[in-house]
Amino acid sequence: MAASETAICNLSLMRMGQSLIDDMDGTEVNEKKCAAIFDQIRDETLVDGPEIGWKFAHRTYHGIDDHSATVSSIAVLVAASTITVTTAASHGLVAGDMVELAGDTGYDDTYDVVSVVDASPTFTFVVAATFVATGTGTAHWRSEEYSYRYAIPTSKKVVKVKVGGIELTDWTKRGTNIVTNMEDEEVDMDIVQAITDVTLFPEHFVRVLVLKLAIALHYNMTQDLKAIQLLAIELDLAMPKAIAMDEREKYVKESSNSWAEVGNTQEIE
């Protein structure tokens, strides 16, 4: 297993017949080229693998709440019937979204967001008449297409969205959020985490990373199409093996040996 980013890059450079580097943070040409591309290829390799993600990078986050924010205050511009809502935290709304106010705000209902004020946690909507606002409650994000939004934990890929262990089928990724119609409180997410510590990379993952890095460096350093094609073929062969090795890294219940015991104690006539 490679112990550092520099070691991984040197494995790739060796496959290319190029000079090795002393340090990824160095100033030599090859050092700069490796440093410029390493993070991108590492992240691509993290998401390019088993369908549920490489085991060392697979994480499950439990109980992610739907996207909502506590209402701090509600201001009413009577003449225009424009309501300005300020929330305790940034809400991520944009003009054209819908928001549901709930919890005795004085305006409990669902509204079209007319505008978002700067980058602050403030938005406005218009009502037909004015009411007495209590300024308390919660603002929940809604849209015409999807009812609920959940913030995605820092990750490279969302693999599954589940409720009570049951996988949801009606969800999609929108920017930094998951949107769905199938749950209204909280969900679990299986994600591929952004792992940057190379000491956590298993050997089968490193082999794939080295090949992908060598291909990318060839395009930048040599433009040797034949060498690139040969490495691509090798990568096509290496990937299924790496995925198979990754699948083997799990607990397997010990099988029963009762059949052997019967065989060993059977009387011979």
Q: Are residues 72 and 96 in the same domain?
A: yes
pLDDT-based confidence at residue 269 (cuts at 50, 70, 90) = very low
Q: What is the pLDDT of residues 9-54, one digit of tens each?
A: 999 999 999 999 999 888 899 999 999 999 999 999 999 888 888 9
Residue 269 lies in a domain: no
Residue 72, both tokens = 């701090």
- For residue 159, give its domain range: 62-192
Q: What is the pLDDT of residues 161-219, one digit of tens each?
A: 998 888 888 898 887 788 888 776 788 999 998 899 999 999 999 999 999 999 999 98
Per-position b or e across 36-64, b if 16+ CB within 10 A of its CB = ebbeebbbebbeebbeebbebbbeebeeb
Q: What is the mean pLDDT of the chain?
A: 79
Residues near 227 by beta carbon (within 8 Å), at least 6 away in sequence: 16, 218
Q: Are residues 117 and 9 in the same domain?
A: no
Looking at per-residue pLDDT, the higher value among 98 and 152 belongs to 152
Residue 258 lies in a domain: no
What does the pLDDT read at residue 141? 64
Q: Are residues 154 and 74 in the same domain?
A: yes
Residue 22 lies in a domain: yes
For the whole model, what pTM was predicted? 0.69
Q: Are residues 71 and 155 in the same domain?
A: yes
In a 10 Å sphere around its CB, with 0-12 CB exposed, 13-18 middle and 19+ buried, how is residue 128 labelled?
A: exposed
| Residue 25 · residue 31 · CB < 8 Å | yes
CA Rg value for the chain:
27
pLDDT-based confidence at residue 92 (cuts at 50, 70, 90) = low
What does the pLDDT read at residue 190? 92
Strand segments, DSSP code E, in 50-132 are 58-65, 68-77, 82-87, 98-102, 109-112, 115-116, 122-126
Count of domains for the chain: 2
> Measured in Å, how far apart are the chain's first and last C-alpha atoms?
56
Tell me what the mean pLDDT of segment 131-144 comes to: 63
